[in-house]
Amino acid sequence: MIDKKTEQNHTNKNILVIHGPNLNMLGIREPGIYGNSTLADLENYIKEEGNKLSLSTTFFQSNHEGAIVDAIQEGFSKFDGIIINAGAYTHTSIAILDSLKAVDIPTIEVHLSDISNREFFRKFSYISFIAKKTIYGMGFLGYKKALEYFSI
């Protein structure tokens, strides 16, 4: 399931990049907040930046909480790190938090927009309880920063 878009480049670390609900709508959804770039553009950017850092990236996107939990669990002992933008599940999903805790893979939380300057309910993140770092408001660059964390 999570290996459908794996990019292998004979690297030393494998990183699972998880995109949550509505990220498949990038380029269409609220361009004033998220811009005009698509999810494919974002994944190409992440792949290129990962290659520069000798990181292999695997992508997974779902609008379904259980599918995200399954992808995290399937990543157990297969990945050296997880970069996750859980979308709205960031603010609601104890199940995603628990799955990240269960697999104990270092995790970086990333958000394209500045969640601290949006609706009040976006200021809280369950994932932040387990994340080594939370990056928000930097657009695509936030993913580069997350990759840099794993390149050390």
- What are the structural domains of the chain? 13-151 (3.40.50.9100)
Considering the candidates 19, 45, 89, 111, report the single residue annotated as catalytic.
111
Considering the candidates 19, 34, 89, 136, report the single residue annotated as catalytic.
34
Ranges of the chain with pLDDT below 50: 2-10
**Under a CB-based contact definition with an 8 Å cutoff, are residues 14 and 79 in contact?**
yes
Q: Is 136 a catalytic residue?
A: no
Q: Is 64 a catalytic residue?
A: no
Q: Report how far apart, in Å, the C-alpha atoms of 34 and of each of 72, 81, 93, 95, 131 are.
A: 25, 25, 22, 26, 23
